[in-house]
Structure 1
Amino acid sequence: MSTQNTQMSENAITPSVLNKMFGRALMYGASWNYERMQNLGFLYMMVPALKKIYKNDTPEMSEAMKRHLEFFNTHQTAAPFIGGVAAAMEENEGNAGGRAISGIKVGLMGPLAGIGDSLIWLTLVPICFSIGASYSAEGGLLGVLIALALINIINVPLKYFGLKFGYSSGSKFIQESAARGTLDTITNMAIALGLVLVGGLIPQMVGVTFGLQFTQGELVVSVQELINGLIPGVIPMLLTLLMCYLVRKGKSPVFLIVVTLVAAVALTALGVLTVA
């Protein structure tokens, strides 16, 4: 057996490693933060695979960990599937495939967030709690326990088998794509799709409402309605582009969040902005 094949065999992710990842995936949402959303939870889930792949090579391990500290946000039930795909890519590509790994994560997190929200939050959770409510109509915790049990009977296996399927399908996908030379094309498409989806969320996630009004006789002109009538969503877009520019210039995201919060409170007190 060649040295390369021996090294790949030694670094192969075993079922026990995937089980460790699954156990950590159950605590995935415990470290959500405003700066990069679910990045800490995703890295925490990935650590067993990264330790298996990179061993005690500190520089290689550090590079991989930094890569998974990038912004990440998706539905928690879908995260293990993406983690499985990322683990397969780490195993096959290593740090040399860092751009592809980040691109696949960005490309998958948006669509799977939409699917997870629709199937879990908007379908499974209401159904299960409706059933539970019927058992707690006269009070008591039985209905709550039933609802939680029903949700997790479906939710937990989805995470477990999603992780396993993501890893197995990810390995097969990488091998087939490498053979055809299409991985770079797919990566670029995934990045583009992810950016389009994230950009489409800006008007929903960034809210700026002006409170200024101009009065001419009985005519009242709202600045907010005037802007929305001319270019809907332009203020959230401009604010987001400004933040991206400042981050690229080296400004800390935490600093920008604090400044934005203070500015919003001050402008609202002055009547320039209003609570939507």
Structure 2
Amino acid sequence: MTFSMRMQLFLRSFFLQTGWNYMKYQNIGLTFVMLPFLKQAYKDDKDALPSVLQRYLENFNTQPVMASFCFGALARQEEAVAKAKSLTDFKEKVTEWTGIKRGLSITTASIGDRLFWGTLKPLTLLMALFIWLMLGVNFFEIELPANTPLLYAACAGGAAFFAFNAVALFVKWEGLKISYDARENTCFGLTRFDWNKTIYNAKRIGIVLAVGMILFGVYHYLKGFEDVDVHFVTRAAIVLFFVMISFVTRKLRIPNMYLYLAAVVIFNLVCYL
């Protein structure tokens, strides 16, 4: 894959969700992303292109960032399909292509949902809140130094959000090359990274930041014990309660969605009362 083609696929990958539908999910976006490569692969057999596009317009759904691993692997296999020397060979290559598309989309969806949506997004939000708190943004409504440059604080905290985009862009760009060059026995390059360890470490960092923020707030509210804010103590206790319950629900394999809904209801009731 040339640098120019890789760049085209990379830029088009930002539009993967375009045309998302309930019938076949990201099939239109996948076809749009791969179209330049398909035109190049079948430049000597343009009559075959419509049937090729039909394959790409079948069901496809995965995590948008990790989808780059699918693009590279499918491109590599498509080259093999285009060079098939007999009808039997062609059918075998198409069957392999279908298996790669189905299997890799499921795998990348699982990794991507846990890494990007379940870990990095909340982690970068916590990082931003923690930085703002340390620089004096007064969202805890406590007395902090008044000479803190708020513009600087906003920029520093906002930089944490770019950490998510930096990781996403790196995976999008490198995933294309790695999956195109890698062999099937390495799951098209996915085994090159220890995804589980990365997710584990990121979650632990998030827990440390969350606990640090809670302890910081508790310290400032309780350092003058005679002026204890009952509302703050109640809300802090509820937060800690739900943190503890989350470990129990994980062990019992109860979907976290139910825990989130319960937390929203209880917090709204407490704030209202």
**TM-score (normalised: structure 1):** 0.53
CA separation of 1:66/1:121 partners in 2, compared to 1, >3 Å: closer, same or farther?
same
Which one has a bigger Cα radius of gyration?
Answer: 2
Aligned-residue CA RMSD (Å): 2.5
Verify: 1:121 aligned to 2:98, yes or no.
no
Aligned twin of 1:85? 73
**Structure 1 equivalent of residue 50 of structure 2:** 62
Tell me: CA distance 1:67–1:144, structure 2 relative to 1, closer, same or farther (3 Å).
Answer: farther
Deviation for aligned residue 1:147: 4.0
Q: 2:127 aligns with which of 123, 131, 134?
A: 131
Letter in 2 for 1:79: A
Mapping 1:234-273, distance limit 5 Å: none
Does 2:161 align with 1:148? yes
State yes or no: 1:164 paired with 2:160: no
2:127/2:157 contact within 8 Å kept:
no
- Please say if residues 69 and 108 of structure 2, whose CA atoms lie closer than 8 Å, have aligned partners that are also in contact: no
Residue identity in the other structure for 2:126: S
Q: How far is 1:71 from its partner?
A: 0.4
Matches of 1:30 and 1:148 in 2, distance apart? 24
The CA deviation at 1:24 is 0.6
- Give deviations 1:97-155, integer Å, cap 9, x for gaps: 22221221101111221111111111111100111234366598647743431111111
> CA offsets, 1:157-191, max 9 Å, x none?
1011011101111xx449xxxxxxxxxxxxxxxxx
Is contact 1:132–1:144 with CA below 8 Å preserved after alignment? yes
Aligned length: 161
Superposed displacement of residue 32, structure 1 = 1.4
What code does the residue aligned with 1:113 have?
A: A
In structure 2, the CA distance between the partners of 1:27 and 1:145, relative to structure 1 (3 Å rule), is: farther
Structure 1 pair 100–133 and aligned structure 2 pair: CA distance change class (3 A): same
Off by >3 Å, runs of 4+ in structure 1 = 136-145
Gaps of at least 5 residues in structure 2 are 85-89, 140-149, 186-273
Q: Distance in 1 between matches of 2:21 and 2:97?
A: 22
Structure 1: stretches of 5+ with no match in the other structure: 1-12, 175-276
Query: How do 1:86-235 and structure 2 match up within 5 A?
Result: 86-94=74-82, 96=90, 97-134=93-130, 135=132, 138=139, 142=155, 145-169=158-182, 172-173=183-184
| Kept after mapping to 2: 8 A contact 1:67/1:98 | no
Conserved? CA contact 1:39–1:71, under 8 Å = yes
Which residue does the alignment assign to 2:2? Answer: 14
SS of 2:18's equivalent in the other structure is helix
Amino acid of the residue matched to residue 125 of structure 2?
Answer: F
Contact 2:26 2:59 in 1 (8 A): yes
Matched, 1:28 2:33: no
Q: Percent identity?
A: 31
> What does the per-residue CA deviation read over 1:45-85, in whole Å, with 9 as the maximum and x for residues that have no partner?
11111011011633211111111111011111111111100
Measured in 2, the distance between the counterparts of 1:98 and 1:66 equals 12
